[in-house]
Amino acid sequence: MGMVKKIIGLMLLINAHNVLAQDLSNKGKEFWVGYGHHQYMEPGHSGSAPVNSQEMVLYFSAEDQPATVRVTIRGTAYEEIYQVPANTVISSKPIPKGGNGNIDARLFTLPGGAGTSSEQLFSNNGIHIESNTPVVAYAHIYGQESSGAAMLLPVETWGHAYVSLTTRQYYNSNRDCFSWICIIASEDGTRVRIVPTVNTRRGRKKNIPFEIELQQGEVYQLLGESINSYESAELTGTSVTAIEGADGKCHPIAVFTGSSRTGISCADEDGSGDNLIQQMMPFKAWGKRYLTAPTSVLTAPQQANMNVYRIAVRDPNTIVKKNGQQLYGINGFYYEYQSNTADIIEADQPVMVAQFLPSSNSCGYIGEGDPELIYLSPLEQAVTRTGFYRNDLQKIDANFVTLIIPDSGLATLLIDGAANAWNHRYTHPQLSGYSVVVKRWKSARAQCIVSSRAPFTAITYGLGVAESYGYNAGTKLNSLNGLPWYRNSFAPDNQPGSYTCVNSPLEFSILLRFQPVKLTWHLSELNGNLDQPADQVQLNPVASGTQTINGISYFQYTLPGTFRFMAAGLQQFHVTATGTGVENCDRTETLAYPVDVRPALSIAYTTEFEHCVQKAPVAFDAATTAGDGSTITGWKWTTLNHDGSFHSGASGRTWQQEFTAGKYSVQLQANDANGCVADTTTLFELAAKPETPYFNLVNPVACANRKLLLIENSPNAGVQRWYWDLGNGDTVSLFSEGQQYAASSKLPDTLIIKHVTAYSNTCVSDTAVAKIVVYANPVTSTTVPVTCFRTNDPIPFETKVSFEDDQQLKEVSWTFGDGSSAHTLSGHHSWPAPGSYPVSLTVTGESGCVSTVDYHQAVHQEPTISFPLMEPVCSAAGIIPIANASITNGVAGRGWYGGDGVTANGSFDPAKAGPGSHEILFVYESGEACRDTARNSITVFPSPTLTMPAPVYAIAGTVIILEPKVNSLPDLQYSWTPPTGLSSALVLKPQLTVDRDQEYRFEVKTPHCSVTGMTAVHVLKAVKVPNVFSPNGDNIHDRWEIENLAGYPGCLVEVYNRYGQMIWRKTGYETPWDGRVNGNPVPVGTYYYIIDRKNGYSRLSGSVTIIK
C-alpha cells in the first residue's frame, strides 16, 4: 500500500475512545517517594527555624471507592494503615525524621568529613505507599515560611528515561541550600546511568556519566555543588536512564527533582525562598503541544500574575515555538521566558514544560506568594475528570485551580459538583475554541473534584504571605510513543472508529512515533472473544501511512486482514514494538490496545407481496435506524434460493424484485456511520393455492368425552396454518406442520369434521370432510368396602354397569394387586398379608369403549398386646403411671388407657378411683375402625388420714397433751419420734412436760398403708424490755432490742408519744425498732409502749427514752 498522509483535527482525536483508552494517570495503587533534602536539615543552617523543624506528610484522596492505604519505609519496621472514606482526603502522620534513635526517612547525612553531604544511596529511606483501590497521592514538605508539595505518580506510569527540569538555585543561604535529584527503584537489580550537567556537592564532575545499582525501594540523591553563599549549581538537563542490569532487563524508575530552598528571580533579586519537590514525567509521556495560563493574584482571581516558564528538550536541535514564533537562545537543554498571558508551546519533538511562581516582588510578580515548580500536561495527556487536594499548610490564605478547556466542555464543567462555579473565565488568546477558567477558594484542607465531557489540563496552587504550594491538578501519563488505531471495514472513510460492534469486520492498526523493526500482535489474549485469536508477528513492517494527532506525527502500521469480535465489552490486548525509538535497553515497548466492543446491531425490514399466485414482485423496505437507535447509512440485500444458490441482490434501503412461487432466504447487511454492521437473515415463501389436505383418526374408535387424535398430512410445502371444525362447537387454528390435534368428542353419535390448510389468511385450500361415529362409554356404579378387614378375611367386591346407547356389556375384569384377578360383577377376595392393595376394574362395551375404576383396599394385621399386671397401691399414694402396654408384633397405630381413676394423660389416680379392685383398659387402634382392647386390674387399699396439731408455745414446766386427729380404720398403729419427754410414744395423744424446744414426727399405720406428720413444741422465755436506746448511727444501741420477744409469734408492739398518740405499731418483732417513723427519726424524748405477747400471756407496758 502506498504511503498516505492524513492530518486529523485535535478535537476529533481527543474524543476518540480508541486513541485515549490506555488511560494511565496519576491515580493508582502503588507509589514511592523520598524525603528530599531541605534547608532545615542542615546543622547551623541560615534560616530562622530550628534545625530539623521541617515536616513531611502524605495526602491520600479517594473518589468513588473507599481505600485502605498502607505506608511503610524500606528496611525499617515502620508501618501505618489509613482508612480513606470515598470522596474524602486524609493526611498521614508526619513521616519520621530521626532523633533519639528513631526511624529517619530523611535523605540527609552530615556534610563534610562526618558524612556524605546527603549525596549517596539510601537503603532504608524509601517511602512506600500501597492502596487496595486507586487513590491520588501527594507529598508535602513544609517548615517555617517554607513549603513544597508534589503530586505522586503510580509505579505503573514510571519510565526508563528522564531529563531533569528545575530552576536556578539562588538564595541567600550561606551554602546550605541545593538543587537536588532523587531516583527510586521499584524492582531489585535496577541499574541507572546518570549524566550530571554540573559538578555535584560530593565531587561528581559535570558531563561525566556514572552508574548506580538500586534494589526495590532504595533511593539515590544527587545535589549540585555550592558555588557561593547565594548560588549552587542547578541540575537542569541532567539525564537519568535505566540501563540493562545483571538480569538483562531495564527496570522503570521514578525521578524527583527539587530544591532545599531557593528563590526564583529574573534579575538576581534577593527575594523570598521556598523548598521545591516534584516527580518528573518520563520522556515517553512528553508532548509536542502545550497550552499555558498564568497563575492569579492572591486577592484577585481575574488578575493574571507573572510566571516563569522553562521548556526542556532532549535534542538541542528541537524546534520550539511560542505563540507561533520560534524560540532561540537555548540554555543547554532548555528555553526560558516570562509571561503573564496564556500561551501555546509547540515543538517538532517531544518536550517538557515547567511553570514557576517567582519569589514575591521578583519578575514583576504581584502580591503574596513564594517560589513554586509545576510540571504541565501536554494536550495529549488531558483528562476529563480529576480529584486533587486543597491545603492551608504552611500559612496558605487561598487555593486556586486554573484549567484550560475547550469551549464545548464549559457546559458540562463541574467544580465540586457545581456548574458555572468559576470566579473568572477568558478566551485563550492563542488557540481558538479554548478557554481559561480560574476558581478561587478560601484556604482549607479539602478534596476538590473537577469533571467535564471535554478533556482539559489544569494546575492547582495555594498562596499566602511568603508562602505557596503548587502542582499539576491531574494528568494522564500514557506513552505517546504509540497509539491504537482501528477502523471498521464498513466505515465510510478512513477515519478511526470510536467503537466497533460484535460481528462487525474491522482492521487493526498501530500508530508509532518511530519505525519499528518488529511488531508482535498478541491477539491470543482475546481468545474466546475474537474470531482469529492467534498472535501475529511483523518483521520490518512497512508503514501504511502517517497520521498527525495533536501536532505529533505517527507512522501507521496495519495488520493484514479483517477481524470480528464475538463478545461485547471493553476488550484489550497488547502490541509489542521493537525499534531504536524506544527508550529502554531491549528497545521494546508494550502498548495496550483497548477496543470498545458494543453489542451487534439489529435491523428490521418488511416484505410485501401477493399470495396464492405463481409469480409476483416482492418489495423489501428496511428501517433507517438500528435496534439501539443508531442511524443506518448503508444497506445491502442478498436473496438465496431454497438450495442455497444465489438468486438476486441489490443496495439501498428499499428494493423490489420479481420471484416465482417457492422458498427463499433474504440477507440484509446494514451499517451505521461508524461502520458497525447489522446482519439479518430471514426466510419467506411465495406460494400458489395449497391442495386439499387429508387427515387420519389416530384412535381405534371414537368414544364419548374422549380426545380424538387427528393427524394431518398436507401435500403442500409452505403451509402456515391448519384449521379444524369438529362439528360439535370445537374449532382450532394450528401453526406447526404435522401436529396432532386432540379434540373433544361429544354425543350425539355422529361428528362432521372439516379441515383446511392455508399459506396465509387469504390463501386457503379446499375443505376436507369426514364423518365419525361416537360411541357411549360404560357407566359403572362400584361399591368400595371401607370397614376394618383383617388378613384372610373374605372382602366383598361389586359393580353395576349401564350404557347410554344400545350397547351390550362385553367384558368385566378385576385385578387385586396380588397377581390374582376375577371376571364377574361381584364376589369376595381375601389377602394373606396386610397392606394397601390397588384394585382395578375395567369394563368394556361391545364398541370397544372402556371405563375404569381404581381404588385401594386396606388389609390390616391384628396387633399382639402385652399389658403387665399392676401392684396394689394405697389411696393416698398419689397419681402413678400405669404399667406400660406394648405391641409386640410391630403393628403400627395408636393406643390409650381407660377405666376408673385413669387420668387424661394416661396415669392412675387411686384417690379418685377409691378403695377396692378396679379394671384398667388399653385400647389400640391400628387402622380404619380397627380397634383391640387389653384388660388389667389394680387394688387400692384405704390410707389413714392425719391432721397434726399446730406448734405449741408454752412456758417451761407446763404440762400439755399432743392431740393429732386420725380417721377410724381397723388395726391402726401409732409411733412418735423422738419419744423424749412423752408419756408414751405408742399412743394417739401422749402427755408432755415442756422443758425444751422439740420437733416430733408422728406415724399412723394400717397393715398396707401409712401416713406421717410433724409438729413442734417451743419454750417461751421471759421478755426483757430496755427503757432507753440511742439511734444516732454509731452502731451502739441504735435499735430497741427487746430480749426474747421475737420468740412470741404474732406478738404486737405499740409505741405512743406523751400525748397518747400511737406513732409506731408492729406485729412480730423479728426486726427491732430503729427510732424512725415513715423513714424519719422521732424527736428525743420519752415514749410509752404496750406489748401484747399473745398466746394467752399478759401484756407488758412501760416507757422507753430515746437519746442521741
- pLDDT tens track for 434-443: 999 999 999 9
Q: Which pLDDT value is given to residue 291?
A: 97
Nearest to 165 by CA among 265, 318, 31, 313: 313
Query: What pTM was estimated for this model as a whole?
Result: 0.58
Helices (H) and strands (E) in the chain, counts: 3, 90
Task: Answer yes or no: do 624 and 657 share one domain.
Answer: yes
* Same domain as 850, residue 907: no
Same domain? For 154 and 48 the reply is yes
Give the pLDDT score at 727: 62
Helix or strand holding residue 322 (H, E):
strand 320-322
Residue showing cell 473565565: 425
Contacts of residue 819, defined as CB under 8 A and 6 or more positions apart, other chains included, come to: none
pLDDT under 50: residue ranges of the chain? 1-21, 735-743, 747-748
Task: Please give the DSSP secondary-structure letter assigned to residue 13.
Answer: H
How far apart (Å, rounded) are the C-alpha atoms in residues 1075 and 1018?
Answer: 30
How far is it, in rounded angstroms, from Cα 213 to Cα 193?
A: 9
Are 846 and 951 in the same domain? no
C-alpha 463/C-alpha 442 separation (Å) is 10
Which of helix, strand or coil describes residue 1070? coil
Report in angstroms the alpha-carbon separations of 910 from 866, 903, 913, 947, 966: 23, 10, 5, 20, 20
Q: Are 589 and 727 part of one and the same domain?
A: no
Nine cell digits for residue 879: 397419681
- Name the pairing type of β-strands 344-357 and 307-312: antiparallel
Rounded distance, CA 73 to CA 81, Å? 13
CATH number of the domain at 634, please. 2.60.40.10
Same domain, 393 and 311: yes
Radius of gyration from C-alpha coordinates of the chain: 55
CA–CA gap between residue 1025 and residue 891 (Å, rounded):
81
pLDDT of residue 616: 83
- Other CB atoms within a 10 A radius of the CB of residue 614 amount to 11
Residue type, 790: R
Q: Which CATH number covers residue 542?
A: 2.60.40
Strand boundaries in 661-749, DSSP class E: 662-672, 677-686, 694-697, 707-713, 721-725, 731-734, 741-744
Final residue belonging to a domain, choices 248, 279, 310: 279
Q: Where are the beta strands (DSSP E) in 942-1037?
A: 946-947, 952-955, 959-961, 965-966, 973-977, 991-993, 998-1005, 1010-1020, 1028-1029
Domain boundary among the residues 254, 279, 304 is at: 279
Distances (CA, A) of 509 to 411, 495, 522: 34, 12, 13
Same domain for 364 and 292: yes
| pLDDT tens sequence across 718-766 | 566 666 666 666 555 554 444 444 445 554 456 666 666 665 666 676 6
Predicted pLDDT of residue 751 = 61
pLDDT at 105: 96
The confidence score (pLDDT) of residue 10 equals 29
Domain count, the chain: 9
Residues 757, 721, single domain; the answer is yes
Range of the domain at 731: 694-773
Neighbours of 84 (CB within 10 A): 21
Question: Which cell numbers hold the place of 911?
Answer: 384417690
663 and 678 belong to one structural domain? yes
Same domain, yes or no: 514 and 591: yes
- Looking at the fold, whether 404 and 454 belong to one and the same domain comes out as yes
Among residues 542, 570, 596, which one ends one of the domains?
Answer: 596
Instruction: Please tell me the distance from the alpha carbon of residue 298 to that of residue 744, in angstroms, as a whole number.
Output: 94
Q: Distance between CA 305 and CA 1004 in Å, rounded?
A: 121
pLDDT at site 758: 64
Q: Which amino acid is at 506?
A: L
- Whether residues 848 and 951 fall in one domain: no
Residue 910 contacts residue 901 (beta carbons within 8 Å): yes
Cell of 532: 482469529
If 0-12 CB within 10 Å is exposed, 13-18 middle and 19+ buried, where does residue 199 land? Answer: middle
Report the pLDDT value the prediction gives residue 8, as an integer from 0 to 100.
29
